[in-house]
Amino acid sequence: MFENAGLAFGLLGAGLAACLAGAGSGIGTGYAGQAGAGLVTEDPSKFGKVMILQVIPGTQGLYGLVVFFVAIMRMGLLGGGAPELSLVQGLQYFAACLPIGIGGLVTAKYQGKVAAASVNLLAKNPDHWSKGMILCITVEFYAILSLLASMMMLLQL
């Protein structure tokens, strides 16, 4: 009855890494894009800088996808067959994928809010828009820590 439970938990973790981090990136880039669209309506020449600010919260989705691929590779799924994982092994993969899943979801959302505020900075004082980027990158640091935690755990399995 539970012969595939390990694989199911491993796949659930890998899927959550990709989906949660991707959802966070969707939310974050949406916040920044909404703010950016308003500015570009008023001043189309700022599109390039707005685009950079909007893309920044999207990195967490990429991190989640990297963890997804590393996890399924380490589980042996890319070889074409269905590997046999014990329940403990499956739960280990599940746990290893959680940091980027949860960390990516939360940091992308808040990074999007910082990026949206940075769009406002760009609108009011274009010479200081790089300061807004630095504020966004500060949030990115914690997304990178989440990625690092997941990768370190995955590489030990």
Out of 12-16, 58-62, 75-79, 118-122, which region has the weakest mean confidence (pLDDT)?
Answer: 75-79
Q: Is the dihedral of CA 6, 8, 14, 20 positive or negative?
A: negative
**Model pLDDT, residue 145:** 98
Report which DSSP code applies to 81. Answer: S
CATH of the domain at 50: 1.20.120.610
Task: Give the count of domains, the chain.
Answer: 1
Over residues 27-36, the mean pLDDT reads 96
pLDDT band at 3 (very low <50, low <70, confident <90, very high): confident
Read off the pLDDT of residues 104-140 as tens digits, 9 standing for 90 and up: 999 999 999 999 999 999 999 999 989 999 999 999 9
pLDDT band at 93 (very low <50, low <70, confident <90, very high): very high
pLDDT band at 102 (very low <50, low <70, confident <90, very high): very high
Task: Please say if the pLDDT value at position 62 is more than 80.
Answer: yes
Q: Share the mean pLDDT of the chain.
A: 95
**Model pLDDT, residue 59:** 97
Helix pair angle (87-124, 59-75), 10° resolution: 170
**Model pLDDT, residue 65:** 98
Task: Please say if the pLDDT value at position 34 is more than 90.
Answer: yes
Q: Which helix (H) or strand (E) holds 124?
A: helix 87-124
What domain range is 140 assigned to?
5-154
Tally of helices (H runs) and strands (E runs) in the chain: 5, 0
**Model pLDDT, residue 122:** 95
**Model pLDDT, residue 1:** 58
